[in-house]
Amino acid sequence: MPRGNSRKVPLKEILLIDEITPRGPLGKGSKGRQKVLDKLTDDHRQALTSEAALKARVTPQGFSIGANIERLKVAKIPRDLPTAYEKKLKGVSYALVDGYQRYKAIVKKYGLETRVPIEELEGETMADLMLAAYEANEKHPLLLTQDEKKAHVFRLMLNGLLMDKSIDQLYKMFSHSFGRTTIAEYKNAAKFAREEAQLEGLPPEQVIAALREHLRAPTVDLINPRYDSKGYPLKETVVGWKSVVETGDVTELLAKREREEERRQSKEREALTDFAATAKGYDEKVALKAAYALIGRLKDKLNDKPDEDFLELFGED
C-alpha cells in the first residue's frame, strides 16, 4: 500500500547489528531456505527497478529512493551496544531493526549513499530492539524458521525482557511458535539461568559471557553445551544444567549421551552401508545421494564431538 511522505536518511547512517535480528547467519540452514532468502533479495532488487515503486531522484541531499518503498524500521543506537560495534559508529545514527533484505538490495544496486525512507521505533536497549525485530518478523515464515523464532524468544527471556509477563500473556504474544506448556518450560529454564548466573542488570553482551562462564563448570561439562547462532546457550543445555545443579545426579545425562551416541553411530553405519552398496553399482544419482547422506552423518559426528574438558576428565570412552 503506497505510503505518504516519510523521513529519509542515507543507508550509511544505519548500522546492521547481527544480535538484533532473530534470523541466523545467511548461508546457514537448508539449501531450499537459502534459495528463498536469495530470491527475496532479488525480488526486492527487481521491485526497485520499477518506476512506479521506485520514483528515485537526485535531491540536494543526495540520491533518494521513493517513499513508495516500504520503510526500513530503525531505532536509535542502543545504550548497551556490544563493544564489537563501537568502531563502526562514526557517522551512524540508527540501528536497523527490520528490512535486512531491502537494505542489502538497495546497497547492491545503488550504494550506501542512497537515502531511504525510515520508520523510527521506540527502544533504548538491545533487548528492546531484539523484541521489536521479532515482532516485525514472526509472521513471515519464509524469513524465519521455527527454530530461529524459539531461539530468539529464549534469548529475550535470558535477557529478562519477558520475565514479568504471565504464561497467558506470553502465549498471546508467541502463539505462532509456542504452546503454553513450551512457553512455561522456556520461562522456567530462563528463570533458573538468570538466577544461577546472576544476570540481573547485565546487558546482552555480558549475559552471553556470564552464561558461558557458568557452563564451563566441571559438572556442567557433562551436558556438552550447545549454543545458538548469537552465542546464547540453547534451552536444552540450560535444562540439563538445571538438572545437574538441583539434583546433583548426572546418571540421566550420561544415559542420554549414550542414547544419542548410539543413534549417531546407527545413522553413520546406515549411511556407510548405503554408500558402499550404491558405489558398487555405479548408479551416479543414487551414489551421489548416498554420498550426501554420508557427509551429513560425518558433519553431525564432528559437531557432536565432546569438548576437550570432557575428554580430559572422563576419557574418550
Asked if residue 298 has pLDDT above 70, the reply is no
Round to whole Å and give the CA distance between 25 and 19: 10
Strands 94-98 and 14-15, bridge-based pairing: parallel
Question: Cell digits for 76?
Answer: 536509535
The answer to pTM > 0.95 is: no
| pLDDT for 217 | 75
* Sole residue written with cell 549414550: 258
Least confident of 204-218, 276-290, 303-317: 303-317
Mean pLDDT of 199-207: 92
State residue 211's pLDDT score: 94
Distances in whole angstroms, Cα of residue 174 to Cα of each of 113, 135, 139? 37, 9, 10
Is the model's pLDDT at 14 over the cut of 90? yes
Residue 276 has pLDDT above 50, yes or no: yes
Q: Tell me the per-residue pLDDT of 146-196, one tens digit each, with 9 for 90 and over.
A: 888 889 999 999 999 889 999 999 998 888 788 899 999 999 999 999 999
pLDDT at residue number 306: 43
pLDDT at 216: 82
**Comparing 43 with 286, which gets the higher pLDDT?**
286
- pLDDT, position 200: 92
| Residue 316 vs residue 54, higher pLDDT | 54
Local confidence band at 274 (pLDDT 50, 70, 90 cut-offs):
low
**How far apart are alpha carbons 129 and 97 in whole angstroms?**
6
- List, for residues 172-182, the tens digit of each pLDDT value: 888 878 889 99
The mean pLDDT value of the chain amounts to: 77
Of the candidates 139, 83, 104, 90, the one whose C-alpha atom is nearest the C-alpha of residue 16 is 104
Burial 234-269 (b: 16+ CB within 10 A, else e): bbebbbbbbbbeeeeebeebeeebeeeeeeeeebbe
Write out pLDDT tens, residues 27-45.
455 555 555 556 555 655 5
Tell me if residue 10 falls in helix, strand or coil: strand
Q: Which pLDDT belongs to residue 76?
A: 95
Q: Where are the alpha helices (DSSP H) in the chain?
A: 31-48, 51-54, 100-110, 126-137, 146-158, 167-174, 180-196, 204-214, 235-247, 251-281, 284-303, 308-314
Q: How confident is the model at residue 302 (pLDDT cuts 50, 70, 90)?
A: low
189-193, 231-235, 252-256: segment of lowest average pLDDT: 252-256
- Is residue 197's pLDDT more than 90? yes
Distances (CA, A) of 90 to 12, 15, 87, 94, 118: 10, 10, 7, 11, 20
